[in-house]
Chains A and B, each alone.
Chain A
């Protein structure tokens, strides 16, 4: 007979998320025991709908006590515990069943994925399932732990690191009001620490909360206290060094941040994150070869298995930073290698591609770009074409766009509507790349008509349709067109109008708009510097050009319809 699993939870006012959680495990567990600490919403109702046994109690400022209340009632072989804002990944169901029938282990680490956005997550391995024995009970009033009692009763107990994935959406900004929750936790933890100031785990937890509220100095002190006290074998000990270094990093005490990484690495030599962060601090200090070395270690270690980590560390984020370090070192070949590697591992992140294209253009090697794109990318669908156009235009690689358009216009299988757009873009790119364009050609373009007149033609006004971010990309292109056609007066009018209009938009849009406008200005400056450098070899101006900020694709691509 297969072993059985009890789900034990504590909840309060979780009506928005509870159903998702219970839905994810209903076919796995044999019973659900839910301790409700005073919900005033539909939480209890929802739990009961799933056949859960609900224990209603008042809240006593003690997480362990509440959890143990549920555990006492459990009858199955294993206890699985989740928070209401977590759910078991469907792909892990079979794994959990298999682990439940494994006889050697006392408890299992599952990987909690904390999502910050659609693609960014931190990954934290945590004990979430343990053998249902009377001796195994939670301790600690907040950030309750089970491992302490297990280790007490069975010092050689085996904890197994698994790949079981739990999705946690608690940190998504829309749901998580970090400040409040942190404030609540901090007051709880302070109370605990008053009683027991030398509790390593509490010190660690309060450090994390202080980091959330931005009280970095307090956070640092807490982590350092915790490092002093901690048992090196406990499951969060490695994290202390990462957090300590991040505190130093946030305080811009970079030397100390690096030392902190080194102390951590002496104990956990395979902890990718420490190499990664060390690399970022070296980057910030401008010590690029040291940064490169450390990041390279992180990259070859790849994503750590047994430690808390963040998505991208050891993989695409590390690769991106390796690109930056190599670019700074002047090894463009290697920089490009890592930018493309980063993109390959996470195609949702276009930033490395933006950087790669800029780098190629700045090196005067735009003529190689067309072939390179063919090697690295598949450009066959409408979306592929749009994405590549978008990036190339935003990286000012107009000559390359023109080569693509020339080919696409000859393809029979590309629709007429798209071709109309491509022809207009073709004309724009010819203007933007400085090719001579006849006036009657301009007039064939829906927007460029009457551009040479005294006033700005009607189509030529910043247009933030529905506050769509991508309208900023169009706005910038229009500004560049005015500049490229030598209509400086119009250009100035246009920029002024852009500034005025953005004031009346939503805050997030306004921020992006300001960002993009500064981008446009520095990109025009870059064009002037380039023109200067065509005639004179002045190293200072060349450097001035190189350090300029450029479009790194922070405004995401949005598909458009024609």
Chain B
């Protein structure tokens, strides 16, 4: 017999059939080691004609796997896990094995790690090997056959590579009980490390298990240790480096990434993931120029299959990051190109679509023009329906976050179904397009369909009615009655219609806060004005939120009033400084930044702002001096230095940056609420 499938399983009833369906017709025997299932696993296996060997679980994967090898009757062995499926041409595979002179084969394992199509990692693994050579697995977890093969065959060319793929979906958050698995792995690995002290492979997986458990500091210790003891020649060493970088990013310690990669990059100069991580490290340090260079490099290196690569690092993810940097520098046409390149590799990548929308907004295009441009960009011949839908959904998201509410509604209406992830945005868009009747209808429909309606949708309907002085929809009233704080709703209605009670409780103010934010995002300005008139305590909050939502022009008088009354805190003063800086009132702006620092020294960006204010003043002075006294070259030389310094410091992202709908808000002219 040619090929046998070997597996070890425990309680895999849910997945096993999936796995066996994909491979059954191409294998001649199936040998399954069961380590104590309490579900239907064994029965399912038997329906596929598998030979099932029951054994006791001894915290050692290698031991379990090796126990099945002894029963092999075939020339070749394939081993799989229950959460994997085989894809590819099975007949071709059999032909290859039939005529093979090699000892073993790599296949690509594609691990899905998120719900989106592109979220996957790819790495090669030896899964086919000759049965008669007595190769044995080693290592109690993440058992490996390679050392045994290498021991017996001098030449690495004995190992080939097959075209088929195994898709591994066990890491998907919805499927796996990753935590349980991780906890189990920690247990096994710690046990293994007691006998194999400082074993790099175990240390690495211990670290990864800790990471799954959310214990990042422990993970860091283990993986750093692993890298320290890992010999340079070991094939999984670059993966350790990559995962350590990712961990540093999670821990917000990207300066460690930088130090690590400055040492390691030259060893793995063709590993795109490392450049991608390096790019992110630079982004965290606000060194966008170096970041850009790294992302570019990630897209340029020749992809080499020996590395564990996360899909997109070498193209669309990196291109998108490059686009974002270019937008920061207002290099919009460059940015557009980067985003388009990203879409070439992943047409439904939302970040790239959103980036393009953002640029079109910055160019002050109308909604219709934006939709037109986006349509032109999309690949005309998307045949795969799943892909097509993914693109549509991503495009809808991009339209919503770009504030193109009418276009968003039209697009969603054009979809066959209503993807649940768009429902929430759909209702809000209807309200923002003053179509409250349909919005109410939608919410009612959601309730009828037993879909969970988020609180803020009810709040939005409620505030909309208050703003327009219309009746509160009954679906809303019903919901409010069920709320523990329904008294506050009445209080608010009373306050808006007649007068707020003079005495306001702290809890009532806290209740108002998210509603004020909603008033701002949904532009209920008369309501907002009424509330702020009676609740001066909330003015500072409202001013800040207006600023962050992009309504800085609108917020400006409110900031002035608050400043005049000495009611601005450090953050508020810093924001006022940013507005003054944008208006090129350098002296007043620096005064604000310095005042902000006195109030709240932790706002260190105010230092950058203040420094820039002084340089802008120096620039004005020097420019004038250059004009008035052209015969003194020193002024020009100084001006050049000051200009350079301004350029550098300005790129350090010290002030607020608006994208998408917030950016759109900065451009629109709406009368400001008077307080």
Interface size class of A (residues with CB under 8 A): 35 or more
A522 — which chain B residues lie within 8 A by C-beta? 614-615, 618, 638, 641-642, 645
Q: Mark B591-621, 1 if CB is under 8 A from A, else 0.
A: 1001100100000110110111111011001
- CB contact list, B319-357 vs A, under 8 A: none
Q: Which of the residues B591, B611, B635 comes within 8 Å of A489, measured between beta carbons?
A: B591
> Do the beta carbons of B617 and A521 come within 8 Å of each other?
yes
CA gap between A525 and B646 in the complex, in Å: 10
CA gap between A492 and B595 in the complex, in Å: 13
CA gap between A518 and B285 in the complex, in Å: 30
> Do the beta carbons of A517 and B621 come within 8 Å of each other?
yes
CA gap between A543 and B591 in the complex, in Å: 24
B120-128, B241-249, B648-656 - interface stretch = B648-656
CB of B287 within 8 Å of the partner chain: yes
Interface of B is mostly: helix
CB of A514 within 8 Å of the partner chain: yes
- CB contact list, A170-203 vs B, under 8 A: none
CA gap between A539 and B648 in the complex, in Å: 9
CA gap between A379 and B598 in the complex, in Å: 41
Indicate the member of A528, A536, A539 with the most B CB atoms within 10 Å. Answer: A528
CB of B268 within 8 Å of the partner chain: no
- CB contact list, A120-151 vs B, under 8 A: none
> Do the beta carbons of A514 and B255 come within 8 Å of each other?
no
Q: A525-B612, A541-B649 are in contact. Are A511 and B629 (CB under 8 A)?
A: yes
Interface size class of B (residues with CB under 8 A): 35 or more
Q: A525-B612, A540-B648, A554-B634 are in contact. Are A518 and B625 (CB under 8 A)?
A: yes
Smallest Cβ distance from B655 to chain A, in angstroms? 13
A492 — which chain B residues lie within 8 A by C-beta? 587, 591
CB of A437 within 8 Å of the partner chain: no
> Do the beta carbons of A540 and B642 come within 8 Å of each other?
no
Smallest Cβ distance from A333 to chain B, in angstroms? 23
A534 to chain B: closest residue by CB: B604
> Do the beta carbons of A532 and B594 come within 8 Å of each other?
no
Q: Which of the residues B595, B611, B644 comes within 8 Å of A525, measured between beta carbons?
A: B611
CB of A486 within 8 Å of the partner chain: yes
CB of A560 within 8 Å of the partner chain: no
Q: Mark A520-542, 1 if CB is under 8 A from B, else 0.
A: 01101111110110011111110
> Do the beta carbons of B648 and A547 come within 8 Å of each other?
yes
**How many A-B contacts are there with CB distance less than 8 Å?**
115
CA gap between A318 and B651 in the complex, in Å: 36
> Do the beta carbons of B648 and A543 come within 8 Å of each other?
yes
CB of A285 within 8 Å of the partner chain: no
Q: Which of the residues B614, B621, B644, B651 comes within 8 Å of A528, measured between beta carbons?
A: B614
> Do the beta carbons of B614 and A521 come within 8 Å of each other?
yes
CB of B528 within 8 Å of the partner chain: no
CA gap between A492 and B614 in the complex, in Å: 11
CB of B290 within 8 Å of the partner chain: yes
> Do the beta carbons of B615 and A488 come within 8 Å of each other?
no
CB of B57 within 8 Å of the partner chain: no
Q: A515-B635, A517-B621, A518-B622 are in contact. Are A548 and B641 (CB under 8 A)?
A: yes
> Do the beta carbons of A544 and B604 come within 8 Å of each other?
no
B591 — which chain A residues lie within 8 A by C-beta? 488-489, 492
> Do the beta carbons of A514 and B625 come within 8 Å of each other?
yes
A538 — which chain B residues lie within 8 A by C-beta? 285-287, 652
> Do the beta carbons of A518 and B648 come within 8 Å of each other?
no
User: Which residues of B are in contact with A by a Cβ distance under 8 Å?
Assistant: 255, 285-290, 587, 590-591, 594-595, 598, 604-605, 607-608, 610-615, 617-618, 621-622, 625, 629, 632, 634-635, 637-638, 641-642, 644-646, 648-649, 651-652
Instruction: Pick 9 A–B contacts, CB within 8 A, sort by A.
Output: A511-B632, A514-B635, A522-B642, A531-B604, A531-B607, A538-B285, A544-B652, A547-B648, A548-B641
User: Which residues of A are in contact with B by a Cβ distance under 8 Å?
Assistant: 486, 488-489, 492, 499, 511, 514-515, 517-519, 521-522, 524-529, 531-532, 535-541, 543-545, 547-549, 554
Closest CB pairs A-B (n = 6): A528-B611, A532-B607, A544-B649, A544-B648, A521-B618, A525-B611
